[in-house]
Structure 1
Amino acid sequence: MKIIDVNSRPPHPALVVGRPYALNVARSSRARRGIPADPAFEARSMDLFFAQQADVGVVRTLIHAAARGPGPSPNGVVEEIPNEFVAALCAQHQQLSGVAAFDPIGNPNAPDQAKRAFEAGFVAAALMPGCMPDAAKADDHRLFAFYELCTSLGRPVFIRNGGNAGPDMTYADPLHIDRLAAAFPQLKIVVSYAGWPFAQQMMGVVFRRQNVWVCPDHYFPGMPGEQDYLAALRAWGQDRFVFSFYYPMAAQGQRLDQILSLDLPASVLDRFLYGNAAELFQLPGL
């Protein structure tokens, strides 16, 4: 079994000083869902992290930068992880590929910077529009120049549109993804958190829009909405899910056991864990 983990944060010394490690966000989230700690989490060890990834079959992990933007985040959850740091980390560890982060509203140079990031080897871009100081929905017209750049280059864009995606729950509404996908039918949109808790509505968008993929992260399985995601994954949506352990919010072994317990057909499981991401991100060396 091969796995591409499209969003995890390894316990690098520069990362464990902030959220989610130091603030115990991961520990409390695991406790609520009955997920134990693991050796890499407890030791804050990069070597153990990569060993745990390899043990479950991970052949590539995408690590995301995070754009902080000027001023405070409206929901207090965003910390900056510079693109330059992610690039350096990927250069040190061949198991990693980078996802560059931007705040196109606060930074008018974001499209030009994204073009240079893709030329430097980043495989996708990531936006958290509702978490920036000037909070926006995913279909805000001020983001369109950035979307146009990614469309022209054929690069996927992760958009946080679910969970704690902004000042209130309207920022998680899949309607904004539906409108964006209609406005940019060639843009490859990957919805982080898969629109949770609006799972059924998000699956409706995936059904309607052929350019939308979802990554449920730590909201599937074992959370409300599981049956909606599962119904799509078993049928017409099997080509539109990508997988992440979303480490450290989950332990690799237990999370994989949860996925395997769903009894998905082998062909669906392969597409979910590996095939869809391999096609979407065109990862070098795979």
Structure 2
Amino acid sequence: MTATPKVTPAARNWGLLLFLSFVWGGAFMSMAVALEHYGPFTVAAGRIGIGALALLVIVAVTRPGDLAIRDLRTLGFILLLGVLNFALPFSLLAWGLQQVPSAFAGIAMGASPIFVLLLAYLFVPEEEIGPRRIAGVILGFAGLLVLILPGASANLGEGGTVAARIACVGAALCYSVGAILIRRAPQVPPMVFTAGMLTAGALVLTPLALLLEGRPEITATRATWALLYAGILPTGLAFLLRVVLIRSAGPVFMSLVAYVVPLWAVLLGVLLLGESLRPSTYVAAAIILSGVGLTQLRLLRAR
């Protein structure tokens, strides 16, 4: 296995991290709105397909020669990551969002740093994971539990709620595995690589969506606009930046976005969808941000 060079996050990496957290925090809300009219697999396939189309157009205009990828190893990574980064987690999220609030789906993404930490320990030995970093991740996850557990028992009796919550956490696991594999993938230009993954995910998921839910009826409603937004910004653009950030700062640094995404998801859910915000949310936010600071304490001191 070829080792990847050690990297230190720069100021632009922190800026990208903050931007991605905001965009992805709103993605759950847009998917929830799209589910008002479309089925879950249609929403997932539509989001991936729209994102793929947007990036393919850009690549065709700016880098047409890069679209011809013939290396079988690269194509294999693209297909695998198209499933792990898009087809599978988007399907799990869309299905889960039928039963849980959009804010919860955002909160569930907070499990990804735990998965990334364990996977990085096994497969990315150049990542420095000392006791302080581990403590920070555990502290951040404890904050997520404070955010999730109050009021959780009130929904346990509803049909499918437990399975829906597991589906959201399963999506976080998919993203974590994908983050590790992206770091190990061949060095294809990020825009081409992301467009390829999205295309592969769309090719895998679209036939399944048509088989299970039939051809969707496109209407000029807010659900359609929400689906278009989810495909272009949180999918096409944001996942392109995700590839850039993982390659420049590493998967463990990238996983920190999952601590901030829940805060945006809750805030946007409250302001735009009318979801309730409990006092414990503010306590959880303080714990989560403390965990993030602890994991990157040395970098923060250096800066």
TM-score (norm 2): 0.24
User: Per residue, is there more strand in 1 or in 2?
Assistant: 1
Structure with higher Rg: it is 2
Q: Bigger relative contact order, structure 1 or 2, given CA contacts below 8 A and separation 6+?
A: 2
